[in-house]
Structure 1
């Protein structure tokens, strides 16, 4: 088996699986319509696989368009004309969320309590191993 036919087989299998998934979702949404469709096929596995592959191809194209449209909306620093030619010299800052003083002290107390509990568990493990 050459690599081209193997690749085509993998792509076809992927599309059939994708089509089967889309069909399953449709069956959950409208069971009567899907049972009617499957009764039309009536055990013709070649037709079923062709239908699923077609549906999978359509789903794949829709997913690709969705991802492409989402990627087009994300600003890319590498495509902007003001991007630095030396990315290693770029300095980025991260804004840390501001935490209220009372909440911060409560978090510190809980962290200390967790540390004490962890130490107690380690001690119990050590004494049970002896």
Structure 2
């Protein structure tokens, strides 16, 4: 069964300091003012925080699932994917890792993140 925005909400919505906003008809999740997960208007694609230096390898590993952000977003730690091509376990891993990038380490360790492994 393909992953949907509601599946992502179930994971992201329960994370400490995370909250959902609507910006220009697009759902985004923030920690403070930092957007760490965002969807296109059709809610079929998800962008998420991801280390710049690792994103080319991620995209190359499965270009049918992952793709580079638009040129104006290349300066950010960001990559994108097709939601319906993710399984639930991979989605959960990507969402948790993206959240970990924007919160203090002690917060995710306290929230059950342990040493950062999923």
- Report which of the two has the higher share of strand: 2
Q: Tell me: higher relative CO, structure 1 or 2? Use CA pairs within 8 A at least 6 residues apart.
A: 2
Q: Shorter-chain TM-score category?
A: under 0.3
TM-score, with length taken from structure 1 = 0.25
TM-score, with length taken from structure 2 = 0.27
